[in-house]
Chain A
Amino acid sequence: MMLFSRTIGLPVITGDDATSLGTVRDLTLDAAGAVVAGVRLSGGPDRTDALPWTAVAAVGPDALIVRSRHAADPEQTPLPAHHSPLGSRVLTDLGTEHGTVQDIAFDAASGRVLTLYTALGDIPGARLLGLGSYALVVRAQP
């Protein structure tokens, strides 16, 4: 299990030649699939500003390891539009507000979203429906 808040800011290092691609600026969600789809980078040497989650080999406490520079090429896998989930307003599909996203727990290997943490309580990742510029939408509790 890994947290968004702990992943953001990690150095991004390639596993095959141990070079830096910058640091993690943010993570991009595929909200409909409830998975982390990609990594937004900052401070990289060669203008790579995003890479697909499929390129990630491991997320450790001190670095995010990318399989290779080649695998990190975002042209290969188009990423969904990026909206920063942390701090986003949470709405249920019934139109009720549910605080804001404080943190997100995800499975580092699969990228699956496990739990959304809000000030009003935890929401299982499986209830994610969408994320846009206005809100993160979750299925209301039955």
Chain B
Amino acid sequence: MNTLELASGLSGRVVVTLGGEAVAQVKDVVFDGPAGRITGFTLSGRGLLAGPMKRSLPFSGVHAIGPSAVMIAGETVFEDRDAVVGRGEAEHGKVLGAPVLTEHGTGIGTVADVVVETGASGRVVGFEILAEDHLDRRHRKVFVPRGEALAVSGEALVVPAHAQHFVADDLPSFAAQAEAFLTHTRRPGGGRPS
């Protein structure tokens, strides 16, 4: 059963082989913004003094993303850093902090984080948006399912004007919404690209 997590929460998670060895920890999550997937992870060594590693982890080498560890078959799945970063970092760097606009051209906030499905899927299911005043006075975090976003690019996220409906205080209540949404889009002939 896959659950939802904020991508920022994956940083620092230990990378463990199925043989039970901890070989690295996640440094950053690299996204392919338009395709809505995790491309892979950059890695750092384990321990206080360990720096970034030259190798990185393509998502194809991930056995599962779990709450306690990212599991891989073995260190052989690591690739050169450029192979993973080259594919997606430009997008990732810009998606976080990118302005969020409604389809009518009103700015409603900025992208604060990316919501991903854990397990073996690596799907980006939504975005956490730091709302501006006129959307939510209490400055709550707003979660927008990815399929609701009309367009995603490195420069901006365009969402339907009714994005306020997705105001959710926390990830669990978003999870319920996203679950309903995904069930809908996964139905054959559901019509919406997922």
Contact = CB atoms under 8 A, between A and B. Distances in A.
Contacts of B64: 93-95
Interface residues of B, number: 19
Contact of A83 (B18, B20, B22, B66): B20
Interface string A105-142: 00000000000000000000000011111111100000
Interface string B56-88: 000000011111111100000000000000000
A76 interface: no
B68 A97 contact: yes
Interface in B117-149: 118-119
A129 B21 CA distance: 12
Contact of B20 (A94, A96, A97, A133): A133
A27 interface: no
A66 interface: no
Contact of A131 (B20, B22, B118): B20
A92 B21 contact: no
Contacts of A135: 16, 20, 22, 69
Contact of A134 (B21, B63, B65): B21
Contacts of A132: 16-17, 19-22
Given A94-B64, A130-B17, A134-B21, 14 more contacts: A31-B19, A91-B71, A93-B63, A93-B71, A94-B66, A95-B16, A96-B66, A96-B67, A96-B68, A130-B19, A133-B20, A135-B22, A137-B16, A137-B17
Interface of A: 31-32, 83, 88, 91-97, 129-137
